[in-house]
A and B are shown apart, each in its own frame.
Chain A
Amino acid sequence: MERKIIHTDFLIIGGGTAGCMAAVEMKERYPQCSVTIMEKAHIDRSGCLAGGMNAINAYLNKGETPESFVRYVRADSCGLVREDLVKSMSELFEYGVKKVEKWGLPILCDDDGNYIPRGRWNIKINGESLKPILAKAARSAGAKVYNWVTVTNLLTKEARVVGAVGFSLRNGTFYVVQAKATLIATGGAAGIYRPNNTGDASHKTWYSPYNTGAGYAMGIRAGAEMTSYEMRYVAIRTKDAIAPTGTIALGAKAPLVNSDGERFMVTRYADLGGDGAPTPYRAHGPVQEIKEGRGPIYLDTRGLSAEKVRDLKSAYLDMYPSQVLYWLANDIDPAREPVEVQTTEPYVVGGHCQAGYWVDKDRRTTLKGLYAAGDVAGGAPFKFVSGCWAEGIIAARAMGSDIEKMAPAEVEAEQVDAEEERAFKPLKGHAKLRHGISAVDFEARLQKIMEEYAGGVSTHYEMNEKMLTIARDRLAKLPGEVGQLVASDLHHLMKVHEVIDRIDVAQVLVEHLLFRKETRWPTYQSRTDFPNRDDAHWLKFVNSIRDPLTGEIEMITRPYEQIVPGDRYQAK
């Protein structure tokens, strides 16, 4: 295998929302430094934003402040967030959004040139080309981009991250990147749980199916401290097509109703804010209605004007066109028929929830030389696109100021050799093993365990100590079987590494779910044996560190710190 050595000042793993913005910030502030981006797909259309976006969902509209944003996000997350992180990202929303507007992003404005709000924290965009716009900005700023490189692991030397290794999906070149500072900006993890749909639609998921938790897994393996994996994300999405519902709920003001036409959020969750209840409850409400026999659940679009329906379709074409084709193929007019919704399989994601690296206010991880931004950075939910930009900017600034004090990094030849052997073994094994295991089969085994014992859709997302212990025991067998994974080409080699990464993420997730003995975020984290929130014991962060040598996962807690005064359960 050809080996290519790259020396760079800054390495960015993942050329998505956070990574592209970080690259621009680095080159603008530290123009003499070299910036290298390693991207699993092609940077022009990779990850979550590949299809486009029709809104920026975290923005301080007129009258809002970083403090009001923290109060909202804190209440929405049931009283527990890293307030320092949420506040610092909100302070940079405008900086990031204005930049991307300058690069060509169409943002909807009123006659006076002010952005048009779509809900309290949202603005409307024509974001079909959001990803290519960001990619172009990163390239134009001078970042060197390596497309189609699957990064398999971080390189460490004496407890410092000194770069990363990966292989090219196009020609098998093994890349060894030696970097002074490394930013992890990959996506979170889809595919840990069995997806809602089967067959050729099994990847019709809400979250990008190509975000497989690699960024988490390489940090877990290197011994980084992780936080809040137990706050899983379960979304309400349109039935089958799994399209976002904010477009309908916020854009068309359509309320959630059950099969009796009852606005159950208003009647049953009034004390939590009704339709404005914290996001976990807006998933939990429908799940309970269905569990108790009052499903299906709908967004009531009946009575929308023809013009509003057209606006709705336009909004989906900018972001999720298959929803429009679904209506066409089923003879559905949302003005006559309400839009059925369902909840998705759980995802592990730091952009909507809090799963990720434990970072300081400058997005430094607990490993020297390693930084995290976007979906892999923990503790700061409600990040979405603009929060990922903000975190990329914050991390870039910290990396720039840190490397001036850093000694040159050197990689260990033995570690590189061992990783090359590990990375390509499934390809070589293909010729030798008569009965190897495919990535698809391995993924099915993992998803079956998680679905049935760790709170999947079919158990209404519920779990208890016994179930989770079974999940832990069954998952514990999987690493021993990784050696039987085979790949017939480079694409399948990528898929093999994706499933290996998912196993590492799933094991950490189950430990987190076992550890938090309360129910803080119903449906996201529903413990039937500890059904209530317990502030006296659990108003704190659950963190984990996996020992790089033994693989043992140690659980620890970190205190919650309130920065913005006020009732933690009130958004206002």
Chain B
Amino acid sequence: MPVWVDPEKCNGCNGSSQPPCLRMCPGDLIVKDHAENKAYLKYPEDCWDCLPCVKVCPEEAIEFHLSFQFGSKGARLIPHVPKKGNQITWEAIDLKGNKEVFTIRTKIMQVALDEKVEGGAEAIDFSI
């Protein structure tokens, strides 16, 4: 599973109906379980490993995993996006635990916690 939402850290962006991770996934793969107030990757087989969801999470609750077929578990790559300042810091940790830190210039664009959806007010239940 390429990205994984840690249910311990995810707070569902509180009352947000469309938290940033849902909005930023270009494949529309992340959904929010409103009963549990948690986001999760509903369609892992379609994940592109592009990471906007990871970078935009205000709780740093989304972890990036490589599909196991590509390599051993244990290595980690964690982006930290500050609220201010135009840079991203990446922690890269190899299988032996060695850590390398990269700070890269970027343009930080503020992302609101929620956003109105155009059209009908309520989602339609198509379940049968």
Chain A interface residues (CB < 8 Å from chain B): 1-2, 4, 40-42, 44-47, 50-51, 104-106, 126, 128-129, 132-133, 136, 146-148, 168-173, 175, 197-205, 208-210, 240-241, 310, 313-314, 317-318, 321-322, 324-326, 328-331, 427, 430-431, 488-491, 494
Contacts and interface: CB of A to CB of B under 8 A. Distances in A.
Given A45-B24, A129-B108, A314 B117 contact: no
A126 B126 contact: no
A204 B93 contact: no
Contacts of B79: 317, 321
B42 to A, nearest CB: 8
Contacts of A331: 94-96
A286 to B, nearest CB: 20
Interface of A is mostly: loop
A310 to B, nearest CB: 8
Contacts of B120: 2, 168, 171-173
Given A133-B107, A313-B102, A328 B119 contact: no
Contacts of A241: 70
A427 B124 CA distance: 12
Contact of B93 (A42, A202, A328): A328
A329 B102 contact: no
Contacts of A173: 118-120
Contact of B47 (A133, A147, A203): A203
Interface in B15-56: 18, 23-28, 42-52, 55
A15 to B, nearest CB: 11
Give me the 5 closest cross-chain CB pairs, A-B, nearest first.
Answer: A329-B71, A173-B119, A51-B50, A328-B75, A329-B75
Nearest to A146: B118
B92 A200 contact: no
Interface residues of B, number: 62
B67 interface: yes
Contacts of A133: 107, 109
A240 B24 CA distance: 25
- Among B2, B105, B120, B123, chain A packs the most CB atoms within 10 A around the CB of B120
Interface in B82-122: 86, 88, 90, 92-96, 100, 102, 104-109, 111, 117-122
Contacts of A324: 77, 90, 92
A548 B64 CA distance: 45
A202 B122 contact: no
Contact of A314 (B2, B43, B52, B104): B104
B70 A45 contact: no
B25 A45 contact: yes
B75 A106 contact: no
Nearest to B125: A489
A208 B47 CA distance: 10
27 contacts: A2-B120, A41-B26, A50-B48, A51-B49, A106-B107, A126-B107, A128-B88, A132-B109, A133-B109, A171-B117, A173-B118, A175-B119, A200-B45, A200-B67, A201-B2, A204-B48, A313-B92, A317-B90, A317-B102, A317-B104, A318-B104, A321-B64, A321-B90, A325-B66, A326-B66, A329-B75, A330-B72
Contacts of B107: 104-106, 126, 128-129, 132-133
